[in-house]
């Protein structure tokens, strides 16, 4: 993981459609060694996947909600069931175990308040939670998948 690898990652996490020769040119290398570096970064799992990012607004998924929950039981089995349950719910796009007052933070993307209500009922109906609080995003000011490397 030298400087050139980092430059490759920086380019690819902003635009995965760049051709190997484009990248090679930008970092000052010929195609093949550049291609080999990219292959290696993929083999190491540093590049996890390449995905298309969609416009949530245009797909009528303009509502983002942060849902904080407290565990009903503080045992590992409960977490396992919750994790498995959440993995299957497409509206939950991010899910973290947290320190502090609330045990879990979910980021949920839905169409509108009505859709959120459907999701909410499904969430609380599917697993026992002791406390749930929802914070609604009114505006997305920044969203990036690019890490500071």
Q: Which residues contact DNA (rule: CB under 7 A)?
A: 4, 19-22, 29-33, 35-37, 39
Report which of 48, 58, 65, 59 is spatially closest to residue 145, judged by C-alpha positions. Answer: 48
Kindly tell me which residue out of 2, 17, 43, 75 binds a second copy, with binding defined by CB under 8 A. Answer: 17
Minimal distance in Å, beta carbon 147 to DNA?
Answer: 22
Residue 26 near which of DNA, a second copy, none (CB within 5-8 Å, type-dependent): none
Cβ-based neighbour number of residue 32 at 10 Å = 10
Cβ-based neighbour number of residue 17 at 10 Å = 8
Kindly tell me which residue out of 2, 43, 52, 77 binds a second copy, with binding defined by CB under 8 A. Answer: 52
Which CB sits closer to a second copy, 93 or 124? 93
Q: According to CB under 8 A, which residues from 130 to 149 bind a second copy?
A: 135-149
Which CB sits closer to a second copy, 29 or 103? 103
Q: For residues 71 and 104, is the Cβ–Cβ distance under 8 A?
A: yes
Q: For residues 108 and 64, is the Cβ–Cβ distance under 8 A?
A: yes
Residue 117 interacting with a second copy (CB under 8 A): no
Minimal distance in Å, beta carbon 36 to DNA?
Answer: 7
Report which of 47, 24, 19, 46 is spatially closest to residue 34, judged by C-alpha positions. Answer: 24
Coil/strand/helix, residue 108? strand
Coil/strand/helix, residue 65? strand
Minimal distance in Å, beta carbon 143 to DNA?
Answer: 26
């Amino acid at each position: 993981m030298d400087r050139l690898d980092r430059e490759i990652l920086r380019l690819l996490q902003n635009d995965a459609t760049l051709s190997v020769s484009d990248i090679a040119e930008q970092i000052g290398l010929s195609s093949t060694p550049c291609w080999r570096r990219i292959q290696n970064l993929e083999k190491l799992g540093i590049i996890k996947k390449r995905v298309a990012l969609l416009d949530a607004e245009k797909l009528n998924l303009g509502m983002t909600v942060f849902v904080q929950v407290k565990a009903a039981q503080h045992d590992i089995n409960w977490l396992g069931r919750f994790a498995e349950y959440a993995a299957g719910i497409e509206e939950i796009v991010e899910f973290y175990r947290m320190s502090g007052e609330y045990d879990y933070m979910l980021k949920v993307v839905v169409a509108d308040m009505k859709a959120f209500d459907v999701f909410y009922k499904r969430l609380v109906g599917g697993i026992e939670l002791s406390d749930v609080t929802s914070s609604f995003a009114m505006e997305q000011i920044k969203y990036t998948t690019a890490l500071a490397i």
